[in-house]
Amino acid sequence: MKKITRKELDDMVAQIVKQREKIEPYVSKYQQEIAPKIKEYVEKAVNEYHAKAAPKILQHKKIMMTLFYMYTNTTVYKSSKQRLNWQAVVGRVKR
């Protein structure tokens, strides 16, 4: 690894300070003007999601769970499960 001299280090620090001075006005403008707008927009979007989409998603989930349980209680599902188990047993015996 290359050793860095004190002068090189000072030059790098000076360069970083200069760059920071150039960027500073943009950062302050962002913090004062743009960031609050983004925060407001995000809060509005989250509130809208909670008001409109979330209940529908929850309702859809409940319906899908109900349908799944209704299907798992049917004879078709149970018989296919038994058939699969039986095939697995037969497969083991043949080997």
Confidence (pLDDT) at 79: 67
Give the Cα separation of 91 and 85 in Å (integer): 10
Average pLDDT, the chain: 81
* 39, 45 Cβ separation under 8 angstroms: no
- Banded model confidence at residue 19, pLDDT cuts 50, 70, 90: very high
Classified as helix, coil or strand, 77 is helix
Q: pLDDT (tens digit, 9 = 90+) per residue, 37-76?
A: 999 999 999 999 888 888 888 888 888 888 888 777 776 6
CA-based angle 89:93:95, to the nearest 5? 120
Between 70 and 82, the more confident residue is 70
Q: Where are the domains of the chain?
A: 6-94
Confidence (pLDDT) at 56: 87
